[in-house]
Amino acid sequence: MASRRRIGILTGGGDCPGLNAVIRAVVLSAASGMGWEVLGIEDGFDGLLHDRIRPLESDDVRGILTQGGTILGTTNRGNPFAWPVERDGRREVIDASRTVLKRLETLRLDALLVIGGDGTLHIADALCRMGAPIVGIPKTIDNDISATDVTFGFDTARLTATEAIDKLHTTAESHHRIMVVETMGRNAGWIALESGIAGGANSVLIPEVPFRIEVVAQAIEERAARGRRFSIVVVSEGAVQVGGAQVVQEEGGPGRLPRLGGIGQQVAAALGDVTGRETRCTVLGHLQRGGSPTPFDRLLATRFGVRAVECVMENRQGQMVALRGPSVVAVPISEAIAEPKRVAPDGELARTARELGISLGDEV
Ligand code: F6P
């Protein structure tokens, strides 16, 4: 049997379906399989700094494979390099990264498994450079991490968005309306474009292809001239008009990205004005982050969890697990986060959409 090791695991950033499947896989393979100690750290780096840590055994992960969310809790405001504290009644932002390192030492962790998206993996990379023994596990519904073919969470979010488009189709057709659907995805248009193609949308607006409202309106009118009096327009929350800026719900701050949202409503209002047609907007929002993970996401998350434990065994700290073709491999975290993964405006997926007659809002 391998020597008894002690590993910590935390989930950081926005949640997504499949996080519990990773936690389960790690606990089953490390604790039950190899006899290692597994410590669950609550609410990302918050739990490490505030000592909210508990041992995880196989009984703790029973029944969680099918559950969305994370039994450990998470936060997308927990960056140790920009840590908000109260001092003398005033709020300050400090660098708590050295405290994180000390905590890892005190806990005598052989490795810390950090499950996170782009933001959390950047934090993990910076901590690794300071000597933290981290193994990264990518997650996000946005699918914007280039080192891996796909992240878990994305398939479930895409299913939710596709099902929503399917449902909106019937009511759009009955009422001869333009239905605008706003999806998440931050600066990446994967959820919008893939669910738009899978759901048979007529226009898809994504951050990677700035749009003109007149172009979208013209595509709708041309459809109407062919007797199709309704249209479905999928808008990614990060989509921008040519020469415009992203629509923000809440400005960012230290360690916090701006919260996007609202472009769907703007597009719906503008299309109503330009076409004179009845228009409605549905914002899918956090529905895309919830629910039971699809079999694909359960499987990928489970493979990532098992491979991450193998990485610890192989002393591959500083690496992140990633899907490449048929295999789950390990790549340096620094390499994995170097470039975000975006939809290529002239790539195969965008071309597929265009060739089906789906308007991306940049050309008719
Ligand atoms: O990164 C995942 C994500 O759901 C994005 O698609 C979205 O922009 C953001 O998180 C929403 O964050 P919050 O949960 O803070 O509203």
Q: How far is the CA of 11 from the centre of ligand 1 (A)?
A: 15
- Other C-beta atoms closer than 10 Å to the C-beta of 20 total 25
Positions of the chain with pLDDT under 70? 1-3, 364
254 and 349 assigned to the same domain: yes
Q: Is 307 in the pocket of ligand 1 (CB under 6 A)?
A: no
Between β-strands 178-183 and 231-236, what pairing exists: parallel, antiparallel or unpaired? Answer: parallel
185 and 91 assigned to the same domain: no
Instruction: Kindly report the CATH number assigned to the domain that includes residue 313.
Output: 3.40.50.450
Residue 51 lies in a domain: yes
CA distances to 6, 27, 117, 199 from 12, in Å: 20, 18, 8, 31
- Which residue's CA is minimally distant from atom 11 of ligand 1? 259
**Ligand 1 atom showing the smallest separation from residue 76 Cα:** 15
55 and 195 assigned to the same domain: no
**Ligand 1 atom showing the smallest separation from residue 191 Cα:** 6
276 and 135 assigned to the same domain: no
144 and 174 assigned to the same domain: no
Site to substitute for ligand 1 among 186, 190, 283, 342, most atoms within 8 A of C-beta: 186
Site to substitute for ligand 1 among 141, 183, 284, most atoms within 8 A of C-beta: 141
Number of domains in the chain: 2
Residue-wise pLDDT tens digits, 298-353? 999 999 999 999 999 999 999 999 999 999 999 999 999 999 999 999 999 999 99
22 and 114 assigned to the same domain: yes
Instruction: Kindly report the CATH number assigned to the domain that includes residue 188.
Output: 3.40.50.460
% the chain with pLDDT above 70: 99
Starting at the edge strand found earlier in the chain, the sheet holding 279-283 runs 203-205, 231-236, 178-183, 279-283
Predicted TM-score (pTM) of the model is 0.96
285 and 303 assigned to the same domain: no
Residue 330 lies in a domain: no
CA distances to 83, 187, 238 from 253, in Å: 11, 17, 18
271 and 303 assigned to the same domain: no
Residue-wise pLDDT tens digits, 189-200? 999 999 999 999
175 and 60 assigned to the same domain: no
Reply yes or no on whether 142 is catalytic.
yes
114 and 204 assigned to the same domain: no
Q: Is 260 in the pocket of ligand 1 (CB under 6 A)?
A: yes
Catalytic-role residue among 142, 144, 155, 297: 142
38 and 61 assigned to the same domain: yes
Contact 56, 39 (CB under 8 A): yes
DSSP 138-157: EB-TT--BTTSS--BTHHHH
Instruction: Show the domain range for 224.
Output: 157-290+344-355
176 and 57 assigned to the same domain: no
Residue 334 lies in a domain: no
- How much is the pLDDT for 152? 98
- How much is the pLDDT for 258? 94
